[in-house]
Amino acid sequence: MRRRQLLTAIPAIAATSSLLKTPGSYAGTDSWKTQFAAALSEDPSLLGFRSVSAPAFDSQASVEGKIPAELSGTLFRNGPARHEIGEFRYQHWFDGDGMIQAFRISADGISHRGRMVATRKYLAELDAGRALYPGLATVPPNPAPVTSPDQVNVANISVLPHHGKLYALWEAGSPWEIDLDTLETVEIHKFADAAGKTGLTAGLPFSAHPRIEPDGTLWNFGYLSTVGKLVFWHIDSSGVVKNVGAIDCDPMTMPHDFVVTAKHLVMLLPPFNFTAMSQTSTFLDAHQWQPEQATRVLVVDKNDFSQYRFLELPAQWVFHYGNAWEDETGVIRFDAARAPDPLTMTDSFHAVMKGVRRDSGHSTHYQYRIDTRSWTISEQPLLTGFNSEFPAIDPRVSCNRYSQVVMLSSERDNPSRHGMLNAVSRFNLGTGQLDTFRYPDTIIPEEHIFVPKPDSAYESAGWIVGTALNYRSGSTELRIFDANKLSDGPQAIARLPYALPLGLHGKFV
């Protein structure tokens, strides 16, 4: 096993320098807004990529069907919402400013509240009346200088409920604390400030896909492209930082998610490699897909970040994993939505912002196996003929043995009219049983998650809860399914009196 010295100091500016650039190949012109508006008038399914119509929303949903009496709580969601500022439109879906939403569910009904996350970037641009700062793949005209990652933090990917608090998460900066009731932005939260004993500086990246064990222990990562470092976090159930460390990673790629077992952290590092920023490129442009190279698989000892090993798989791209577990012999198993390349991010999510639909390939659900005795790895497809994304599990089996995965899906030989994923499925990894509900072609589903019934056995009884955009009626919906009767259709449908932009991730509390 490779052994490297745990780093004790990383300049915060390393995470920022890659953003200090001038407009790139997708920047500059206002024609993106004009093109999108024209395309939307012809294709109403693009409604999900329209900029949010207001900074705040409050309503009581109209409900069809019956809300299960035992289902009580809040579905918090996050996603890019402000895609336009004045006449300027962002040129990538992931560049929009984040909006936190709360769907509060009880026997009395379902209410909705949405609030833009009042980040430093969002407030500065409101005050200036124009776009100021570069994003992942967009740089506005005459950009303002960037002095820290959190100056351009859009808090637009996911939410983290933890130790009685709620955070809005981004990929490359600190989490923003959100008031659980009002959804107003409280303040930026720098976990690194509480980790002074490590000697690491504040402003370290805290990714949007932390993993939480059933006892509340939290693990996360971040990446520093310009210095080739991966940062790992260990935080206890009360929010206290127990450990922060870093590992050399050269070349650096753009990891988005990872998994955790009883003993290890595991991450796939696809050959979408950071090269160098030119004066005319964006951060996304600075990465090159090099499929002749292997996908590196990083396995880290969770109790000692200086102990790790790299394995190899064929070139592939993974946005999201379902879960992982490790048996008593040291064999790790995990699942993920595996794509042959990152074209969905580099091409599709660019083009759709000017109203152009592109099919950039498929993601197939795979299972992976790592033997930590022989240090070998293998992979195999689990669902052929289906696209999959947004895998989710019963949160009570997180980082432990599991058998059920909920995911969005679509049949490749029977695609939707809008070209996006059009179904929600529940898949049994052991038996291969698949239960699916297909949405009508006028509805685009978002991430769905599993909510267990109180006092039920793990992965048994519960509900599948998720939102969707009905672009025919111009409304956002929330649907509740019996997890064991998914194909029967929803038990209840809650409809809002407005349409919200398509979002990314959520959690149920």
Render pLDDT for 251-303 as a digit per residue (tens, 0 to 9): 999 999 999 999 999 999 999 999 987 666 789 999 999 999 999 999 999 99
Q: pTM of the predicted model, to two decimals? A: 0.93
Query: Looking at per-residue confidence, does 366 or 417 come out higher?
Result: 366
DSSP secondary structure letters along 63-77: EEE---TT--EEEEE
State the pLDDT confidence band at 192, using cuts at 50, 70 and 90: low
Average pLDDT over residues 160-179: 96
Q: Which residues pair with 167 in a beta bridge?
A: 160, 177
Predicted local distance difference test score (pLDDT) of residue 7: 33
In terms of Cα–Cα distance, which of 449, 480, 467, 507 is closest to 107? Answer: 480
Per-residue buried b or exposed e for 4-39, using 16+ beta carbons within 10 Å of the residue's own CB: eebbeebebebbbebbebebbebbeeeebbebbeeb
3-state secondary structure of 440: coil
pLDDT at 194 over 80: no
In terms of Cα–Cα distance, which of 371, 319, 353, 284 is closest to 158? Answer: 319
Query: Looking at per-residue confidence, does 278 or 476 come out higher?
Result: 476
pLDDT in tens, 439-450: 999 999 999 999
pLDDT at 127 over 50: yes
Predicted local distance difference test score (pLDDT) of residue 22: 32
Instruction: Give the mean pLDDT of the chain.
Output: 91
Average pLDDT over residues 299-316: 97
CATH architecture for the domain at 2-508: 7 Propeller (2.130)
Predicted local distance difference test score (pLDDT) of residue 1: 35
